[in-house]
Structure 1
Amino acid sequence: MQLADIAKVVRSKNAGPRTLTFDLIFENAEDFERVRSSAQKLHSEIARRYGRSENEITVIAYPPANAIKVSMRRTVMAGDPGDRDVYGAQQHAQLLDIEL
């Protein structure tokens, strides 16, 4: 099953001008726990897809909201020359087909 099949929301956005964050929100605790139990695989796969080392990626599970937050530093500060997505809102697509 792919992340897009199990997550209710997969989105990206800036968390300040230097940090990109992804929100993974699940319909229920069962779906959340299914992904949470694969946290190491998720962490590794995100690092690989974004060309980062695992220690550059932070993954935080938040059970009360059935959500997982993933954060990493942006390669270019928001709004600087070379920034292709000033809001960070189009960066989540690489996550959608992660197999869980």
Structure 2
Amino acid sequence: MSVELRTLVTKVRCKNAGPFWLTVDIFCGTPQAYARVVRGLHTARIATAFDVEACTIKRFDIAELNVVKFSLPRPTVQGAKNDRDMHGASWAALVGEIPI
């Protein structure tokens, strides 16, 4: 049975990694939650949510910290006329809704 990612983890955080990149940090809290997220959250799902190509995403599974991290190109350049989130933070809510 799938549940929303945010119900499994301690925190989902998104932020800028410069004007062209975003970073998504998923703090799992426990080794059990971490294992489920690593198994169930595919990079392609993040690509779909952000409307970017999966091959442009860098994924880091950090078992020692129970953290899964993604770095990806921003859908729009920070500060561009059509940028709706200057800090990249609102994407965390979208990621939190992904079923695992």
Same fold (TM over 0.5): yes
Query: Match of 2:88?
Result: 88
For 1:75 and 1:3, the matched residues in 2 are separated by: 22
Structure 2 equivalent of residue 50 of structure 1: 50
Q: Is residue 72 from structure 1 mapped to residue 72 from structure 2 by the alignment?
A: yes
Q: Secondary structure at the match of 2:13?
A: strand
Name which of structure 1's ranges 76-85 and 5-14 shifts more when overlaid on structure 2: 76-85
Query: Deviation of residue 28 (structure 1)?
Result: 0.8
Decide which of 25, 28, 52 is 1:26's aligned counterpart: 28
Q: Distance in 2 between matches of 1:88 and 1:47?
A: 15
Aligned-residue sequence identity (percent) comes to: 29
Number of aligned residues: 98
The alignment's TM-score, normalised by the length of structure 1, stands at: 0.87
* Separation in structure 2 between the aligned mates of residue 15 and residue 53 of structure 1, nearest angstrom: 18
Q: Root-mean-square deviation (CA), in Å?
A: 1.4
- For residue 10 of structure 2, the aligned residue among 8, 11, 14 is 8
The TM-score with structure 2 as length reference comes to 0.87
What is the CA–CA distance in structure 1 between the aligned matches of 2:11 and 2:19, rounded to whole Å? 23
Matched letter for residue 55 of structure 1 = C
SS, match of residue 68 in structure 2 = strand
Gaps of 5+ in 1: none
Unaligned runs of 5+ in 2: none
**By how many angstroms is 1:79 displaced?**
2.0
Superposed displacement of residue 51, structure 1: 1.5
1:88 maps to amino acid: G
* CA distance in structure 1 between the aligned counterparts of 2:79 and 2:36, rounded to whole angstroms: 37
Q: Greater shift after overlay, 7-16 or 72-81?
A: 72-81
Q: 61-70 or 87-96, which moves further after superposition?
A: 87-96
| Contact 2:14–2:88, Cα closer than 8 Å, also in 1 | yes
- Deviation of 1:29 after TM superposition, in Å, equals 0.9
1:24 is matched by which residue type in structure 2?
I
